[in-house]
Amino acid sequence: MRLSPVLWYANRTGIKPRNIDTAKVIKNGGGFFNKTFYSWWEDNCEKLFAEPLGRKELIGLRVNDLATHTYDTNSLYVEVPLSIPIDRVMKDFHSILMQHHEGRKLNLATTSQAIWPLHTMRYRLEVIERGYWTLVYKLLYPNLSIWRIGDRLQYAPHLKVRGTEWSSNERRFNSLNSLAGRYLYKGRYTLENAEQGIFPRLKKPDADCSDFPFGKKNHADFLKLTSTDKDEKSPWITSLESYLTNELMQIVYKRNFRYFSAKPSSDTTEKFLAFYSGETDQLP
Rounded CA-CA distance 198/21 in Å is 9
Residue 55 reports pLDDT greater than 80: no
Residue 56 reports pLDDT greater than 70: no
Sign of the CA dihedral running 50, 56, 57, 59: positive
Rounded CA-CA distance 268/55 in Å is 60
Res 163: pLDDT? 82
94: helix, strand or coil: helix
Rounded CA-CA distance 164/227 in Å is 34
CA 216 to chain CA centroid, Å, is 29
* pLDDT one-digit tens code per residue, 100-153: 877 766 666 566 778 888 888 778 999 999 999 999 999 999 999 999 999 999
pTM over 0.85: no
Rounded CA-CA distance 18/238 in Å is 25
* pLDDT one-digit tens code per residue, 242-251: 999 999 999 9
Residue 264 reports pLDDT greater than 80: no
Average pLDDT, the chain: 88
73: helix, strand or coil: coil
Task: Tell me if the bond preceding 200 is cis, omega within 30° of 0.
Answer: yes
| pLDDT, mean of residues 34-52 | 88
**How many angstroms separate the Cα of 72 from the Cα of each of 56, 213, 230?**
11, 41, 57
Res 110: pLDDT? 65
Rounded CA-CA distance 164/141 in Å is 22
Rounded CA-CA distance 136/123 in Å is 20
